[in-house]
Each structure stands twice: as C-alpha cells, then as structure tokens.
C-alpha cells in the first residue's frame, strides 16, 4: 500500500448480529501512486451519484454510499442476502497530498478519486551552476 494513504476497515464481528443493521460493506479499493499524486479506484456496484457521500476532513477521507437492487415489476424476492448495501471506507491521507484539489468521477460502478501531491511534495529539478 502507498505510503500516502492508510486504510481503516469497518468489519463487523459475527457475534454482533444485533448491530448488523448499522453494518457497512467495505468496498475493495485500488490505490495507485505516481509522481504527481494518488488515484483511488473503489468498486461501488449499484451506487448512484445521489447516494454517494465523499468527505475530506483534515487528513481523513471518508467514502460512504448506499445501493439498492430494484426488482423488475411483477417479481418478488424469496431470499435476499444484500437488499440494501451500505458501503463505508475511511483513509488517512499523507500531509504531502493536496486535499483542496481532490477530483471524483463515478462511472459504471467504479469511483475514481484523484488526489494530487501538494506543490512542496512534488519532485522538482535543481539546476546546478558552474562556478
């Protein structure tokens, strides 16, 4: 995992069934770092833009979302393991990242977040003068 981002998982222990209604799925996330910043790809199947909540507070990025599976008209479910999926994932961001310039895109169930490195953390070339 990149040194620029750390993840916290919100897993629920099996013996905590009474709190199951508050549980959230942990979506799989790929984190890719390059010289200019990081890109996160989060799998959020069935999530629409209006059910997606992204927050950056201080050095914490939180992804929360809900998806619902709509049944075709005239059909009913006899057994549903995940009817309304809630997703939650929290990341601790490095101070090297510029959280003021986060960009996000949701397409075909994949959330793409781009967080550039702050200007002071980007690589730069140093000119050497001949004396």
pLDDT in tens, 56-115: 998 999 999 998 767 788 888 777 766 668 999 999 999 999 999 999 999 999 999 999
Is 131 inside any structural domain? no
Q: What is the pLDDT of residues 9-64, one digit of tens each?
A: 444 444 444 445 568 889 999 999 998 999 999 999 989 999 999 999 989 999 99
Its domain, for residue 59, covers: 5-121
CA distances from residue 121 to 19, 21, 125 in whole angstroms, order as listed: 42, 42, 12
| Predicted pLDDT of residue 21 | 56
Is 91 inside any structural domain? yes
Is 130 inside any structural domain? no
5 pLDDT exceeds 50?
Answer: yes
Q: Are strands 84-93 and 5-8 parallel, antiparallel or unpaired?
A: antiparallel
Is 32 inside any structural domain? yes
Is 129 inside any structural domain? no
Highest mean pLDDT among 63-67, 116-120, 124-128: 63-67
> Which comes out higher in pLDDT, residue 51 or 2?
51
Is 126 inside any structural domain? no
Q: Detail the DSSP E strand segments found in the chain.
A: 5-8, 29-34, 37-43, 47-57, 60-68, 84-93, 103-107, 110-116
Is 128 inside any structural domain? no
Is 27 inside any structural domain? yes
CA distance 33 to 40: 9
| Predicted pLDDT of residue 11 | 46
Query: Residue 64's domain is classified under what CATH number?
Result: 2.60.40.790
Domain count of the fold of the chain: 1
Report pTM. 0.71
């Amino acid at each position: 995992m990149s040194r620029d981002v750390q993840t916290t998982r919100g897993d629920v222990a099996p013996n905590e069934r009474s709190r199951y209604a508050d549980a959230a799925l942990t979506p799989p996330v790929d984190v890719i770092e390059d010289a200019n910043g990081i890109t996160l790809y989060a799998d959020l199947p069935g999530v629409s833009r209006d059910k997606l909540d992204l927050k950056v507070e201080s050095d914490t990025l939180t992804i929360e979302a809900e998806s619902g599976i709509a049944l075709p008209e005239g059909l009913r479910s006899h057994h549903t393991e995940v009817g309304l999926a809630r997703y939650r994932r929290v990341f601790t961001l490095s101070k090297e990242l510029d959280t003021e310039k986060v960009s996000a895109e949701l397409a075909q169930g994949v959330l793409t977040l781009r967080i550039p490195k702050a200007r002071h953390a980007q690589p730069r070339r140093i000119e050497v003068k001949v004396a």
